[in-house]
Structure 1
Amino acid sequence: RFDSAATAYLTLLEHVGAADGERIRAVASRILDPLLLILPDSLKYLTGTQGEQGPGASPTTPAKGAALSDWWRGMDALPATERNERLIEHLRRTAWARTRYGVGDDGGFDDRGTIYIRFGEARRKTQMRLNPFDLGGPPISTPEALRTDIATSIITFPRNEFWVYPRVDDSAQFLFVERQQGEYRLGTTADLIPGHLSSPRHARTQLKVLETVLRDLALFHPQTYGEWYEEVAGQLTELELTEIAVRVNRQSPAVSGWSTGGHPLRYSQNSLVHRQANERVAIRARDTRIPAAYFDDYGELEDIPWSLRTARFLNPDGSTRLEVYWTAPVAEFASAHARLNDVDASQPANFLIEFTAIEYDDRNRRIEEHLIRNRLDGIRSDDDGVLFPQIYTVENVRAGRRLALEWDVLPLPDAKVDLLHSRVGIAVRMMDSLTVLTDDRRVLEMSDLKPVLVNNDPDEEGPVYPGNVLTPQVRLGLQFEIYHLRFGDDDRTRYTITYEMERTEAPTFRTRARQVADTQTITSSTDYAGTSTTEEETIVLDLSEWTSPGRIRILVRVRDENSGQEVTRALDYELALAKQGRGPR
């Protein structure tokens, strides 16, 4: 039912700015209020639906409503399907938030609903149940005004829920405390202190409550809550040791000197203030780190590490051609198949690789869609080869358009195996706002660098190399084209090609302020002359003497000596130690 709702939702957004009448505006408010929770700030500004406007905000023009619809189309995480999975999930979350966490009669929800719409179902949920027996007895020898033997019971502690989202971020943890009957709001550990203990004179008991809470929360996040627990537990231990000293010396705590630096009540109050301030800082840091929303697009499917490179070229008619190069390690297919379908990864399996390329216009509407299938047979998890590099070409690229690429790995049916998952691997890459090369004969232009593997036979062109890792044994060639060279007085073109390889090794030593890495640079230049305004060139790189790992940046610069114009292209790689493989499949 949410599939049809998604279609109606986008239609309503397209017209929401032009809608008249209270009923239409009320419907618009119901869909826009949850949307504000996940919109990026830039789009809130563009559509006039910033959060400070409060509930009921609505775009004032059709163009603003259309901008929201365009954004949703761009959020489609699985372009190979006709469904917009993220929009459907947003509508499902919104419906559940209103049903499960709703407050009032206007379709609103409490803070649990807000977090649920943003991040979905929490990985873990729990409730802090604070047993008064955990609070321990009163101090051994404390003035009557400081005693903490207060009547407490479990039901006097606020109802609460604690949600954890490790997939979103390590800090994505939220504590909700019931403020009114059935209405939960985001809170802090201090909000779990029972109301009848809120007086400053009960500061020590408040610390004991926090110790109990932080001890339980440390099970979910040892790094944060564990450190806070140890801090509070240490403060309470210091108080107890001081009380023992007071009893032994038979002195009043107000005049005994107190290793804690003052009166026990004052020390407890200062500890609470310090703890609450640190927690507020941590919450602000969390809200800065976590995204506005999170969608688990792939579920159990393996995110296959595809290698991807692209290069743009100018066609004779002045249009830009985009070439997409891609490959992947075939062992990943077998490993994913074994994990999801419970099969023996050492046994060969057959796969179908579906590559889908979809081009969108500047409003994220589909223009063209292409599907390419490749079959792979006899793949095992111990294979160390890669899929033979593939090339997909987009002709007549238009500036500002968007290209979506999706790879799906499907195990082919086997009579001996019942497939639990018909798709075991997936990857999606978005190329936003495509750019074109300059079609102006007055301006020097250059294609992107096309990486290829160089064969020993100079007459045989090697395959394209989409990978981002090189070894010293790899003979890498960079092919490129130069456009719009100028003729000189002798009717010849003259240009200089300079290439620069800069290698940065892993940090060799550390100073107090920074890590210091070793950087090496090799530069070479060659002068050329020709009789054409367009030239094709190839540079072959020699990495044999670079035997230690690090990062490599390869920069190629072309200078037209007749016009004085320059243009530069660059590629980045990781240099790794040599590893023998079976090669492409």
Structure 2
Amino acid sequence: MTSRTYMLLFSVLCCVAGQNVWAQSLDLEDIAQAVAEYESLFEDTDLASDPALEVELRRLMPLLPESILPTVVESDSIKTTLSARSSILGWWRSQDPLPASEVNERMVEHVRRVQYALDHYGCTSCEEGYDERGEIYVRYGEPERISRVTFDDPLLIDAIYQPGIAVSPADFPDNEFWRYLNLDRDAYFLFIQDGGFYRIGDTSDLLPSVLRSGLGYSGRGLVKSRMLLAAMRSIYRQLALEHHHFGSRFNDVDLWLAAREETGRLRGRDNVENSKIITGAALVQGETPEQLDLDQELRQPPILFAQNTILSARTQDQQAAYQREILLPSSTSEVLNALPTFALGVRHARFLKPDGTTTTEIYWHPESTSFTVPGHPAQEEYIIKSFVAQEDAAHTRLNTMTDAIRVEMPSASEAVTIPVQTIEVNGSTGLYHLALQWDQHEVTPAGIGNRLQLASRRIDSLRALDASGATLEMSDLIPLAHNIDTDELVPWPHEWIYKGMRFGLGFEIYHLAYGQGDQTSYKVTYQVSSGRRRISSTSVEFEGQSRLETEEVYLDLGQRAGEIIVTVSVQDQISGQEISRSLTLTLFDDQG
């Protein structure tokens, strides 16, 4: 694929994706072909030295997990080896949000974002083809809000226009403040125009260099210090409207300047009132500024207060950037945000089979209100289609399975009652992954109608159970609930349970060692904890004659609502080997 063809591919994908790629579209073949061409960029061995491939790898680097980066980067150089490209393709497959569809919608979304970044944030001197605004856009999509710090306020102009010091509004850099509160309350980025393109900066970068240098105790230095503080007050006043982090900074600078201004704005205001000069953003978000020691703050000379304020701001900006690195994912997708989804309880458990392979059982069940479709009239019945793809360690599909069930809706006064569904995935060895999707369809006289809602899950990095026979092994834990009609324990796939519900666990133990008389002896410990607090712990010893044992047990989970962790530990009394499994549940006071 040539560079020209690669750029044309962007255009094809963007045009097609712009027509609601996630709908059941007549352009599906065009989309699939375009995605296949994009994938060929990583598959074609003739393209290993193609500049377009290296550019795309650079664009992908901020999105990739740390586990893949070493295969792509070495000593700050991009590797275009077959191993690197295979890792990228495997990662792309793991990002597919709708595994039952013909295309990878996340890949289409990425291509659209890249094209938008090239069109709106292009940078000819940047290796990726766009500046750092483009990088953030490709990672997180459109910001919730974009604003700018302006410097045309008449009060600011009066404060910084001083004889002998050449500063004007044109000396302040253009900038953009992007906010992603939909991702995290502290997700924001300040971009500074620098040399014709934008980079991520901090608040001190908004100050002209002529104001940041030459501060001192001379008359000129004192004037520059006051000009600098006036500029900072204007900057923080505007940023405080965007995020609470800047509220206390504005308060500090405003109080210091107000105490020295002719109007004496502090006169007649007590300390509580002064502490509220923070703008609406902090107050709306419920943030309370720290109480200031006004006497100590106001006694500082201009140069010292200005320098301390800049140093403090840089430290806070660095801390905020560090927090973003920790809190924010490497990238996000909006594919599922544009689609109606329904809630499902989904759990899985691995079991060892006699042939040495691992079977994964997937239990799923809709939440009570799942079938309500906003804006769509209720129907007497629906069809739920299920799809499962089994993938190898590189996320290459090994096989797929599909199924469908018919759900009849009861009267308005009754709850939907369908049994918990189980899907079996057989023959797993080594490392494997599962991709799942459920589609709710309307039923028409002609048969299955349009898709109304969907749900999807990924179960990644599953490892087949040890079949060697030399090591104690154990299945995953199956949450079980008592079925009143059958008086049996059945799988419970939901993340929650409620008080009064009869709850249990099921699991299997493999490769128990034989002792004298071909007898096995093992101890099972059940522990229920909440955080670091242990609620209960019970141990039971068993003897048997088989290396394989199946256990089912009722458990008392206590009466304290909240998240609880159930851990089951098995100790082989003959070999001394131990193994344990855990699961997490949320305990509610009642079923409602």
Band the TM-score falls in, shorter-chain normalisation: 0.7 to 0.9
Q: 1:241 to 1:387 in 2, by over 3 A?
A: farther
2:65 pairs with 1:40 = yes
Q: 1:215 to 1:426 in 2, by over 3 A?
A: farther
1:73 maps to 93
- How big is each residue's C-alpha offset from its partner over 1:51-107, in whole Å with a ceiling of 9 and x where there is no partner? x33xxx342x32222222222222222212121122222222222222222233887
Kindly provide the amino acid, as one letter, of the partner of residue 461 in structure 2.
S
Where in structure 2 are the equivalents of 1:158-197 lying within 5 Å? 158-181=173-196, 183-194=197-208, 197=211
2:397 maps to 366
Q: Percent identity?
A: 29
Aligned residues of 2:524 and 2:541 also touching (Cα < 8 A): yes
Aligned residues: 524
Kindly provide the amino acid, as one letter, of the partner of residue 112 in structure 1.
R
2:52 pairs with 1:27 = yes
**Partner of residue 207 from structure 1, selected from 229, 241, 245:** 229
Aligned residues of 1:38 and 1:292 also touching (Cα < 8 A): yes
2:550 maps to 536
Q: Distance in 2 between matches of 1:179 and 1:562?
A: 70
2:446 pairs with 1:408 = no
**Partner of residue 463 from structure 1, selected from 468, 487, 490:** 490
Query: What TM-score do you get using the length of structure 1 for normalisation?
Result: 0.78
Q: Distance in 2 between matches of 1:533 and 1:40?
A: 41
**Partner of residue 538 from structure 2, selected from 517, 523, 546:** 523
1:272 maps to 310
Kindly provide the amino acid, as one letter, of the partner of residue 357 in structure 1.
V
**Partner of residue 328 from structure 2, selected from 290, 300, 305:** 290
Q: Distance in 2 between matches of 1:443 and 1:274?
A: 57
Q: Distance in 2 between matches of 1:90 and 1:325?
A: 32
1:569 maps to 581
Aligned residues of 2:71 and 2:79 also touching (Cα < 8 A): no
1:132 maps to 153
CA shift, 1:7, in A, is 1.9
2:21 maps to none
Kindly provide the amino acid, as one letter, of the partner of residue 527 in structure 2.
M
Aligned residues of 2:524 and 2:540 also touching (Cα < 8 A): yes
2:591 maps to 579
Instruction: Structure 2 unaligned segments of length 5 or more: list them.
Output: 1-11, 14-30, 216-220, 267-294
Aligned residues of 2:562 and 2:588 also touching (Cα < 8 A): yes
CA shift, 1:485, in A, is 4.0
Kindly provide the amino acid, as one letter, of the partner of residue 41 in structure 2.
L
- How big is each residue's C-alpha offset from its partner over 1:194-245, in whole Å with a ceiling of 9 and x where there is no partner? 5665553422222222222222222222x21223222322232234389899
Q: Distance in 1 between matches of 2:353 and 2:205?
A: 67
Kindly provide the amino acid, as one letter, of the partner of residue 253 in structure 2.
V
- How big is each residue's C-alpha offset from its partner over 1:388-428, in whole Å with a ceiling of 9 and x where there is no partner? 3111101111221211122334455799xxx9x95434232
2:462 pairs with 1:434 = yes
Aligned residues of 1:352 and 1:375 also touching (Cα < 8 A): yes
Q: 1:550 to 1:277 in 2, by over 3 A?
A: closer
Q: Distance in 1 between matches of 2:577 and 2:343?
A: 39
2:41 pairs with 1:12 = yes
Kindly provide the amino acid, as one letter, of the partner of residue 206 in structure 1.
L
CA shift, 1:293, in A, is 2.1
Q: Distance in 2 between matches of 1:208 and 1:386?
A: 67
Structure label with greater radius of gyration = 1
Q: Distance in 2 between matches of 1:520 and 1:211?
A: 53
Q: 1:148 to 1:427 in 2, by over 3 A?
A: farther
Aligned residues of 1:207 and 1:272 also touching (Cα < 8 A): no
Task: Give secondary structure in 1 for the equivalent of 2:584.
Answer: strand
Q: Distance in 1 between matches of 2:573 and 2:308?
A: 73
Kindly provide the amino acid, as one letter, of the partner of residue 69 in structure 2.
K
Q: 1:122 to 1:451 in 2, by over 3 A?
A: closer
Query: What TM-score do you get using the length of structure 2 for normalisation?
Result: 0.77
Q: Distance in 2 between matches of 1:235 and 1:352?
A: 68
Q: 1:137 to 1:571 in 2, by over 3 A?
A: closer
Aligned residues of 1:137 and 1:149 also touching (Cα < 8 A): no
Aligned residues of 1:171 and 1:286 also touching (Cα < 8 A): yes
Task: Give secondary structure in 2 for the equivalent of 1:102.
Answer: coil
Where in structure 2 are the equivalents of 1:446-485 lying within 5 Å? 446-455=474-483, 461-485=488-512
Q: 1:488 to 1:121 in 2, by over 3 A?
A: closer
Task: Give secondary structure in 2 for the equivalent of 1:108.
Answer: coil
- How big is each residue's C-alpha offset from its partner over 1:255-312, in whole Å with a ceiling of 9 and x where there is no partner? xx99733433443343334333432332333234323222223123355443222222
Q: Distance in 1 between matches of 2:296 and 2:97?
A: 61
2:345 maps to 307
Where in structure 2 are the equivalents of 1:136-147 lying within 5 Å? none
Q: Distance in 2 between matches of 1:289 and 1:548?
A: 30
Q: 1:43 to 1:485 in 2, by over 3 A?
A: closer
Aligned residues of 2:189 and 2:200 also touching (Cα < 8 A): yes
Q: 1:118 to 1:446 in 2, by over 3 A?
A: closer
Instruction: Structure 1 unaligned segments of length 5 or more: list them.
Output: 140-145, 246-256, 506-516, 581-585
Task: Give secondary structure in 2 for the equivalent of 1:32.
Answer: helix
Q: 1:77 to 1:177 in 2, by over 3 A?
A: same
- How big is each residue's C-alpha offset from its partner over 1:467-519, in whole Å with a ceiling of 9 and x where there is no partner? 2323342222333333344454435x2424433232438xxxxxxxxxxx753
Q: 1:36 to 1:477 in 2, by over 3 A?
A: closer
Kindly provide the amino acid, as one letter, of the partner of residue 462 in structure 2.
L
Task: Give secondary structure in 1 for the equivalent of 2:68.
Answer: helix
**Partner of residue 259 from structure 2, selected from 221, 225, 238:** 238
Kindly provide the amino acid, as one letter, of the partner of residue 175 in structure 1.
L
Q: 1:533 to 1:104 in 2, by over 3 A?
A: closer
Q: 1:157 to 1:14 in 2, by over 3 A?
A: same
1:501 maps to 527
Kindly provide the amino acid, as one letter, of the partner of residue 427 in structure 1.
S
**Partner of residue 101 from structure 1, selected from 96, 121, 127:** 121
Kindly provide the amino acid, as one letter, of the partner of residue 535 in structure 2.
Q
CA shift, 1:357, in A, is 0.7
Q: Distance in 1 between matches of 2:211 and 2:521?
A: 82
Where in structure 2 are the equivalents of 1:378-389 lying within 5 Å? 378=409, 387-389=418-420
2:289 maps to none
Q: 1:379 to 1:193 in 2, by over 3 A?
A: farther
Q: 1:127 to 1:259 in 2, by over 3 A?
A: closer
